[in-house]
Amino acid sequence: MGGKVSATLGEIKNRADFIMYWGGNPAECHPRHFTRYTLIPKGKFLPNGRKDRTMVLVDIRETASARAADQFLQIRPGKDFELITALRAVVKGLPVDDALVAQTGITTETLHDLARQMKQCRFGVIFFGMGLSMTRGKHMNSAAILTLATELNAFTKFVTLPMRGHGNVTGSDMVMRWNTGYPFGVNLSRGYPRFNPGEYSTIDLLVRGDTDATLVLGADPGATMPQPAIEHLARTPTIVLDPKVTHTSKLARVHITTAATGVSAPGTVYRMDEVPMPLRPALKSPYPTDEEVVLKIIEAVNRKAPFAPRAESMMRTV
């Protein structure tokens, strides 16, 4: 476990002749992925575009993306980890139990054929989505697919990328990584960063009721998080910065309308391959940018006296 063999989408466009999507539905969720980066474009080393590429889709249901695939492998729900582990064994030439493979919904012959295709390609890529990373096994599934891609490099060039979504989630991870060394779930309350998903991650903090105020930037947890987390946001002061009124702003104490980034505010967005893209605003907005609002909040906080708990409040009366 550990490490990710990766590439930019430009490299994939120019080189990838074997493309696998696992637990993702780009036709619906990333509608420009096929046409700009993976299936359709002609690449430097793939002059015939789609004809030079093979696409395999692995999913538990036949989604719209299946129509674009050369091979669709419908697997049983919750069997991703088992299938990846069997595939890793076959890639290494190790024996696998036919009955155990059959439990994944795939035959051993199909598995051997898949391993052969993966080993024989010139440049392979696995894109994995929430169907892999957010189902039973979660981070262990992600670790298994990253390991599979790493191990395939003993035979050919292979890379893997998560199908990141929702605007600039990759940018958030990247900036947190430069600043603290960790991508998310970072606690700065001691003045230095501490990382512990499950303890300092947003949903866990809200569900446990550990926070007494929340600042929400570019997100709508009121429409996406588990109900106990939403109820805690409603119980405590919540401040939302968003161009629109969202579910979260309705339960918040303060909503500050900001300019839409990329439309009326400049900034930098990170693509799913972690390549930064500058955004030039096309329109003017009467509203401040998120950055301007946050800087003003920092300024106001800095004017306040440092927080120091009174000694008597730290003592228990018996």
Partner 1 sequence: MARRYLMNAARSTKQGQQINVGKDTPEYQALVTTIVMHPDDMREAGIESGMAVRVVADNGEGIFYCKDGKIPQGMVFVNYGPPTCRLMGYVTDGTGMPQSKGWEVEVFPAPGQVPPLVGPDSVKPQY
Could you tell me how far CA 236 lies from the centroid of its own chain?
28
Which of 36, 67, 116, 253 binds partner 1 (CB under 8 A)? It is: 253
Q: How far is the CB of 251 from partner 1 (least distance, A)?
A: 5
Nearer to partner 1, 156 or 236 (CB): 236
Which of 29, 279, 294, 297 binds partner 1 (CB under 8 A)? It is: 29
Give a three-class secondary structure readout of 8-67. CHHHHHHHCCEEEEECCCHHHHCCCHHHHCCCCCCECCECCHHHHCEEEEEECCCCHHHH
49-57, 170-178, 245-253, 286-294 -> range binding partner 1 (CB under 8 A)? 245-253
184 binds partner 1 (CB under 8 A): yes
DSSP-assigned letters across all residues of 200-218: TSHHHHHHHT--S-EEEES
Nearer to partner 1, 116 or 166 (CB): 166
234 binds partner 1 (CB under 8 A): yes
**In terms of C-beta density within 10 A (0-12 exposed, 13-18 middle, 19 or more buried), how is residue 258 classed?**
buried
32-40, 88-96, 117-125, 130-138 -> range binding partner 1 (CB under 8 A)? 130-138
Going by the DSSP 8-state scheme, the letter that residue 313 receives in this structure is G
122 binds partner 1 (CB under 8 A): no
Which of 3, 78, 181, 209 binds partner 1 (CB under 8 A)? It is: 78
Which of 224, 275, 277, 292 binds partner 1 (CB under 8 A)? It is: 224
| Alpha-carbon span 298 to 180, nearest angstrom | 19
11-19, 36-44, 49-57, 236-244 -> range binding partner 1 (CB under 8 A)? 236-244
Task: Enumerate residues 6+ apart whose C-beta is below 8 A from 35.
Answer: 41
266 binds partner 1 (CB under 8 A): no
| Alpha-carbon span 147 to 169, nearest angstrom | 23
32-40, 172-180, 250-258, 270-278 -> range binding partner 1 (CB under 8 A)? 250-258
215 binds partner 1 (CB under 8 A): no
21-29, 34-42, 269-277, 310-318 -> range binding partner 1 (CB under 8 A)? 21-29
| Alpha-carbon span 21 to 32, nearest angstrom | 14
Each as own residue / partner, the long-range contacts of residues 198-204 (CB below 8 Å, 24 or more positions apart, any chain) are: 202/229, 203/229
What's phi and psi for 132, nearest 5 deg? -100, -45
What's phi and psi for 116, nearest 5 deg? -60, -45
- Interface with partner 1 by CB under 8 A: which residues? 25, 28-29, 31, 60-62, 74, 77-78, 130-131, 134-136, 138-139, 165, 184-185, 197-198, 201-204, 207, 220, 222-231, 234-238, 244-247, 249-253
